[in-house]
Amino acid sequence: MGGLFSDVTDTIFLDKEVLEEEYQPDEILEREEEVEEYKSAFKDVLFGRNPSNVMLYGKAGVGKTAVTRYVLDELQTETDQREAADDLYVHRHNCNGDTMFSAVRTLVNGLLPKGSASFPKKGLSTADALEEFYSQLDRLGGTHLVVLDEIDHLQDANELLYELPRARANDHIEAARIGVIGISNNYTFRQRLSAKVQDALKEEEISFSTYDANELRAILHDRAEKALSDDSYSNSAIAKAAAVAGRDTGSARQAIDLLRKGAEIAEGNDEPMVEDDHIGLAREAVKRGRLQDKIEDQSLHARLVLEAVAQLDHVGETPARSKEIMQMYRRVAAKRAEEPLTTLKSIQNHLSDLYMLGFLLRREENEGRKGGSYHEYDLDMDPDVVFEVCDELDEEDAV
């Protein structure tokens, strides 16, 4: 008698990892201009000079992280071969929900020699963490590139982006050089930085537009050739996945997820080829999953604000003004046993970010002299998805 899995003998996948989010392609397709801009920004590193600071902007899934990894891997390979170039160190950190202290502490712990005690979570200040960070940089020497993903979610972004680019000029480091790479989904992030920070950064800006259907089709054909067996997918299915993602988000991640999920559906039905119908069935499953991932990626208070709008939407009280949303936000924060933000401006900033990220709809109303102009917000997704994800995250935090 065979076991539970004894009948699982065939698969249409050659290498399923090629369709997973963490896969890093050897070649970057449809981002040649952005790669060239990146290359230009880091030429000085090859000659032992100070690196540029770079800020990347673009929606999720448009290649910011993949291009960054590709360019920095190529830069690492080249610096290893050049006598004029200093040793290159790359430090990556996701800032989602972080304070400046926790971000610097993580960077410090990544630099400490093996066997050293970790930098403590409590008892020391941000200034202490920065001092240790600079000490470790000088201990190693060389050039250090600090990649700060989701920099717009860092609570003290202004302070950190003012401090790091000026570290060498202020004699905090002597034997090392440092450059900052900030990655943001929010196109308005730079506008929220103070004038002195913008002056200190003097950064190169690289903007990533969304992919169109033709670009996504080229990316999907490349992935399908590597991930799926011969004759297991149709050109029509590739075109449909590209068209759906191009129309919805312009995200390569969504397009690849549609292909992967469509292939899973075909395989689950014992069908040998991914067809248009499989992509259609995959669309709803992928959409719900991507929304869940996007919610989980938000900071705590961004999620609470989103949940507040979802609550108002659930009872038919949207579109709503920021003051009304703030009232519901306070009730949601109390329910989640969280200390709420106290200013309307902070709530409005979160609403603006959630609108930019596609969670909310926004419209401007103008009551003339009577009431002036203001924004109203509505939810642009299923409120049940918001409630489910927020409940799950709340349960995880309670464990």
Binding-site sequence positions for ATP: 62-66, 211, 223
- The residue among 67, 72, 70 whose CA lies nearest residue 89 is 72
Q: Which residues are annotated as a binding site?
A: 62-66, 211, 223
The two three-digit tokens of residue 147, written as one number = 């990649």
Quote the longest CA-to-CA distance of the chain: 82
Residue 179: which H helix or E strand, with range?
strand 176-184
DSSP 69-104: HHHHHHHHHHHHH-SSSPPEEEEEEE-TT--HHHHH
List the Cα angle 313/315/319 in 5-degree steps: 40
Q: How far is CA 273 from CA 198, 259, 279, 320, in A?
A: 52, 12, 11, 47
Are the C-beta atoms of 60 and 76 separated by less than 8 Å?
Answer: no
| Rounded CA separation 267/274 (Å) | 8
Phi, psi of 337 (to 5 degrees): 60, 40
State the DSSP code for 12: S
- The residue among 362, 376, 378 whose CA lies nearest residue 311 is 378
State the DSSP code for 221: H
C-beta atoms surrounding 327 within 10 Å: 13
| Rounded CA separation 230/12 (Å) | 8
